[in-house]
Amino acid sequence: MKSKSLKKVRVKFNLNCRQVEIETKPNKRLIDLLREDFGLTGTKEGCSIGECGACTVLVNGNAVNSCLVLAGEVDGARVITIEGIAKNGTLHPLQENFLKHGAVQCGFCTPGMILSAYALLLKKQSADEEEIKEAIAGNLCRCTGYKQIIEAIKYTIKEMSEKQA
Amino acid sequence: MIQKFNYVAPKSLNSALKILSENKNAKVLAGGTDIIPGFHIESRRFIDTELLVDIKKIQNLHAIKERKDFVEIGACVTFAELAENELIRKYFPLLAKAAETVGSVQIRNRATIVGNFVNNAPCADSVPPLLVYDAKIQIQSLKKTREISLQKFLIKPYATALKKGEVVTKIILPKPDENFVGDFYKLGRRRAVAISRISLAVLMRKKDGLIDEIRIASGAVTPIGTRLYELEKFAKNQIANSDTFKELAIMLGEKVLEITGLRWSSEYKLPVLQQVFYQLLEKVNRNEK
Top pLDDT among B61 and A144 is at: B61
Arithmetic mean of pLDDT, A55-70: 98
List the beta bridge partners of residue B147: B138
List the beta bridge partners of residue B52: B7, B27
Residue A131, SS3 per DSSP = helix
User: Same structural domain for residues A54 and A102?
Assistant: no
User: Same structural domain for residues A73 and A99?
Assistant: no
The answer to whether A1 contacts chain B (CB < 8 Å) is yes
User: Same structural domain for residues A28 and A77?
Assistant: yes
Examine residue A3 and state whether it is found in any structural domain, yes or no: no
Using a CB-CB cut-off of 8 Å, the residues of chain A touching B2 are: 27, 29
- What is the spatial distance between Cα A63 and Cα A33, in angstroms, rounded to a whole number? 17
User: Same structural domain for residues A58 and A111?
Assistant: no
Looking at residue B289, its pLDDT comes to 46
Quote the number of domains for chain A: 2
List the beta bridge partners of residue B26: B51
Contact B32 A75 (CB under 8 A): no
Looking at residue B185, its pLDDT comes to 92
CA atoms B44, B49, B55, B61: torsion sign: negative
H or E element at residue A136: none
- What is the spatial distance between Cα B260 and Cα B242, in angstroms, rounded to a whole number? 27
Nearest to B6 by CA among A124, A28, A110, A38: A28
Are A114 and A98 a contacting pair, CB within 8 Å? Answer: yes
ipTM of predicted complex: 0.96
pLDDT in tens, B71-99: 999 999 999 999 999 999 999 999 999 99
Provide CB contacts within 8 A for A14, sequence distance 6+: A20, A77, A78, A79
The residue type of B233 is K
Q: Please classify residue B13 by burial: count the beta carbons closer than 10 Å to its beta carbon, then call 0-12 exposed, 13-18 middle and 19+ buried.
A: middle
pLDDT in tens, A116-130: 999 999 999 899 999
- What is the spatial distance between Cα A61 and Cα A73, in angstroms, rounded to a whole number? 15
By Cβ distance, the residue of B29, B52, B107 closest to A50 is B107
User: Same structural domain for residues A19 and A68?
Assistant: yes
Residue A19 belongs to domain with CATH number: 3.10.20.30
Examine residue A155 and state whether it is found in any structural domain, yes or no: yes
| In the predicted structure, residue B49 carries a pLDDT above the cut 60 | yes
Which range of residues forms the domain containing residue A18? 8-84
Using a CB-CB cut-off of 8 Å, the residues of chain A touching B1 are: 27-28, 32
Examine residue A46 and state whether it is found in any structural domain, yes or no: yes
* Mean of all residue pLDDT scores within chain B: 93
Q: Look at residues A84, A107, A122 and tell me which one is the last residue of a structural domain.
A: A84
- What is the spatial distance between Cα B74 and Cα B59, in angstroms, rounded to a whole number? 10
The residue type of B5 is F
End-to-end CA distance of chain A: 60
Nearest to A33 by CA among A43, A48, A47, A18: A43
Residue of A nearest to B41 (CA): A49
CA atoms B73, B74, B78, B80: torsion sign: negative
Arithmetic mean of pLDDT, B186-199: 76
Domains in chain B, ordered, with CATH? 6-54 (3.30.43), 59-174 (3.30.465.10), 181-286 (3.30.390.50)
| In the predicted structure, residue A80 carries a pLDDT above the cut 80 | yes
Q: Look at residues A30, A58, A84 and tell me which one is the last residue of a structural domain.
A: A84
Strand duo B64-66 + B154-156: pairing: unpaired
User: Same structural domain for residues A78 and A137?
Assistant: no
Using a CB-CB cut-off of 8 Å, the residues of chain A touching B6 are: 5-7, 26
- Eight-state DSSP code of residue B65: E
From the CB of residue A149, how many other CB atoms can be counted at a distance below 10 Å? 29
User: Same structural domain for residues A66 and A100?
Assistant: no
Are B3 and B42 a contacting pair, CB within 8 Å? Answer: yes
pTM score over 0.90: yes
Spell out which chain B residues touch chain A, with contact meaning CB-CB distance below 8 angstroms: 1-7, 9, 29, 32-33, 36-37, 39-41, 50, 52, 54, 56, 80, 103-107, 109-110, 191-193
Q: What is the CA radius of gyration of chain A?
A: 17
Share of chain A above pLDDT 90, in %: 90
* Mean of all residue pLDDT scores within chain A: 95
Arithmetic mean of pLDDT, B239-250: 96
Residue A123 belongs to domain with CATH number: 1.10.150.120
User: Same structural domain for residues A18 and A72?
Assistant: yes
